[in-house]
Amino acid sequence: MYLGIDIGTSELKALLIDGQGEIQGSAHAALTVQRPYPHWAEQDPEAWWQATQQVISTLRQQLPDAWAQIRAIGLSGQMHGAVLLDDEGKVLRPCILWNDTRSAQQCSQLTEEHPEFLTISGNLVMPGFTAPKLRWVAEHEPEIFSRVSKILLPKDYLRWRLSGEFVSEPSDAAGTLWLDVAKRDWSDKLLAATGLARGHMPSLVEGSEVSAVLHSALATEWGLSSGVKIAGGGGDNATSAVGVGAVNNGDAFISLGTSGVIFVVNDELQTRPESGVHAFCHALPQRWHQMSVMLSAASCLRWVCNLLSVTESQLMEEMAGLSDEQKKHAPVFLPYLSGERTPHNDAHAMGSFFALNHETNRALLGYSVIEGVTFGLADGMAVLETSRSQITQCSLTGGGARSAIWAQLIADVLDVPIVTHPASSSGALGAARLGWLADGGVEEVVCRKPPVQQRFTPRKALQNVLQQRLSVFHLLYQQQKAARKLLP
């Protein structure tokens, strides 16, 4: 048996697969985000550990026989988060998350002072990444910065709690901006640009390699045998790719979680930082990927449901009753509730509705939200360019993948066939698969594509209207940029 643990933004998931790759069980625990000030997003790393203990307890009770046969653990996690430890292993402050945009000014400074970030890291310096977060801490919390001994990403903090080892791997490390992405190793030059050195960082192994062994005391407490391996694992998108079998050149998937991601596998490093495209290492050796990332995706639907006091399933049911004519005249929504990355790199972008009237009901508001998120994905697809020509279909994962309405809309707007799969916890599944690989599994067997649950083919008849609405979407963003200059 192989256990995958995935630290998301809104929940921590755990999933157990057997030696044939079949899912035996899963569990999850809710997480919350703290936003004490505008542009801030933080979590307490201790909450991840408590959530881990909760899902472990659930799986042990559900599957006692399977649980005892675990041979390896794989880890997946939200990327870019800055967990700061002192020399005694004490967490110095809450983790600054991937969707925290307080470091916009530090990004401008680093870009101007150190243009080598673009060439060595292969990516624009954006507020979500880890390096500018540390520049912000150095400037605003110098007493904390002076005590930093180790900087860990969320899943690597969990690895340390599981094993006592400070280890990361290239797919997650690439999102710090301190990695030489071509060499898959830390860059001393980029670390020095933020007042750090290699000693502040964990060591690196590939995601499919053994990184550590579970603490013997913890193994005893959890009812596991000694010597349980812990794989390198990966950042959440890279592990999701492993979970849906996106491991070869041209394989692609879309993730509709808190954020929205288009992920395309490359067999060599391809960078386009000027367009806001991310170029990171894959969780498997000798592979990379390009990625467009929007900061608010399914979280936009969650937000509007909370405002309207309706469940997501109920709102989707109401949307299903809308006619094409009603949708044609729905409001247009900008989904920038947390700023935006690809393609705008605009930490100050805002969400908005356009064309509200007395006839606007909550079903139309809901439709405009999922359409606006889909238009954001279309902007991301447009700047992938060379990778776009390789894509023949996209798997859809994340919470948004449960909606057939949304999946069909993505197919229509992107003009790409969309497929969904039975297992929606792709990050946890990919993590478990990496644990299997670390235990000697063969990649062709372990990383096979899961069965297709549903297929959504683009409907050509709707594309003219959708393209017209996309043009309005683009105009609204440009008008917003101009209007923001007039705000106090």
* CA–CA dist 339, 336 (Å, integer): 5
Strand partners, 256: 260
Domains 2-232 and 247-487 fall in the same CATH topology:
yes
26 SS3 class: strand
Q: Would you place residue 422 in the very low, low, confident or very high pLDDT band (cuts 50, 70, 90)?
A: confident
Q: What is the pLDDT of residue 142?
A: 98
Token pair of 134 as six digits: 């540390």
Q: What is the mean pLDDT of residues 362-373?
A: 98
pLDDT of 167:
98
Size of the chain in residues: 488
pLDDT at 387: 61
Q: Is the pLDDT of residue 425 over 70?
A: no
Active site residues: 236
pLDDT tens readout for residues 383-416: 886 666 678 899 998 888 889 999 999 999 999 9
Check whether 335 has a pLDDT greater than 90: yes
pLDDT higher than 80, residue 128: yes
Q: Which region among 148-152, 345-349, 358-362 has the lowest average model confidence (pLDDT)?
A: 345-349
| Pairing assessment for the beta strands 83-85 and 150-152 based on DSSP bridges | antiparallel
In our burial notation (b when 16+ CB lie closer than 10 A, e otherwise), range 43-66 reads: bebebbeebbebbbebbbeebeeb
Q: Show the tokens assigned to 102.
A: 């307080």
Portion of the chain with pLDDT greater than 90, in percent: 91
Check residue 148 and report its DSSP letter: -
The encoded tokens of residue 362 equal 């909550």
Nearest partner of 264 among 78, 390, 80, judged by Cα: 390
Measure the CA–CA gap between 184 and 179, rounded to whole angstroms: 7
Residue spans of beta strands (DSSP E) within 309-406: 332-335, 351-354, 394-397
Pick the CATH number of 247-487 from 3.30.420.40, 3.40.710.10, 3.40.50.40, 1.20.120.1200: 3.30.420.40
What is the spatial distance between Cα 174 and Cα 164, in angstroms, rounded to a whole number? 23
Determine contact, residues 224/238, Cβ cutoff 8 Å. no
Q: What does each C-alpha distance from 87 to 90, 92, 147, 155, 359 come to in angstroms?
A: 7, 10, 8, 19, 61
Rg (C-alpha) for the chain, rounded Å, is 22
Helix 404-414 to helix 362-384 angle, to the nearest 10 degrees? 40
Q: Are 276 and 292 in contact (CB under 8 A)?
A: yes
Helix ranges (DSSP H) in 332-485 = 362-384, 404-414, 426-438, 443-446, 463-484
**Helix or strand (DSSP H, E) at 75:** strand 72-77
In this structure, what token pair is assigned to residue 40? 């801030």
**Nearest CA-CA partner of 170 in 208, 129, 118:** 208
Instruction: Please tell me the distance from the alpha carbon of residue 156 to that of residue 175, in angstroms, as a whole number.
Output: 13
| Mean pLDDT to the nearest integer, 188-207 | 98
In this predicted structure, what is the pLDDT of residue 133? 98
Residue-level pLDDT at 275: 79
State the burial class of residue 154 (Cβ atoms within 10 Å of its Cβ: 0-12, 13-18, 19+). buried
Residue 357 has pLDDT above 90, yes or no: yes
Residue listed under structure tokens 């006592």: 164
d(CA 388, CA 331): 29
What average pLDDT score do residues 316-324 get? 97
Q: Which pLDDT does position 424 carry in this prediction?
A: 62
pLDDT at 122 over 90: yes
If you average pLDDT over residues 110-131, what whole number do you get? 95
Rounded CA-CA distance 414/399 in Å is 19
Least confident of 214-218, 276-280, 312-316: 276-280
**Which CATH code fits 2-232?**
3.30.420.40
CB of 395 within 8 A of CB of 261?
A: no
- Measured in whole angstroms, how far is the alpha carbon of residue 83 from the centre of its chain? 17
Confidence check: pLDDT of 195 > 80: yes
What mean pLDDT comes out for the span 213-222?
A: 97
The answer to whether 79 is a known ligand-binding residue is yes
pLDDT confidence of residue 347: 87
**What's the pLDDT at 386?**
60
Which residue from 167, 149, 150 is spatially nearest to 158, judged by alpha carbons? 167
CA 418, CA 457: separation in Å to the nearest integer?
7
Q: Which residues of 176-205 are buried (b: 16+ CB within 10 A; e: fewer)?
A: bbbbbbbebebbeebbebbebeeebbbebb
Average pLDDT score, the chain = 95
Residue the block writes with tokens 């933020």 = 194
| Burial of residue 464, with CB atoms counted within 10 A of its CB: 0-12 exposed, 13-18 middle, 19 or more buried | exposed
Domain ranges of the chain: 2-232, 247-487
**In this model, does residue 423 exceed pLDDT 90?**
no
User: What 8-state DSSP symbol labels residue 120?
Assistant: I
Q: Tens digits of per-residue pLDDT, 27-86? A: 999 999 999 999 999 999 999 999 999 999 999 999 999 999 999 999 999 999 999 999
HSE (side-chain half, CA atoms, 13 Å) at 436: 29
For the chain, count helices (H), then strands (E): 19, 24
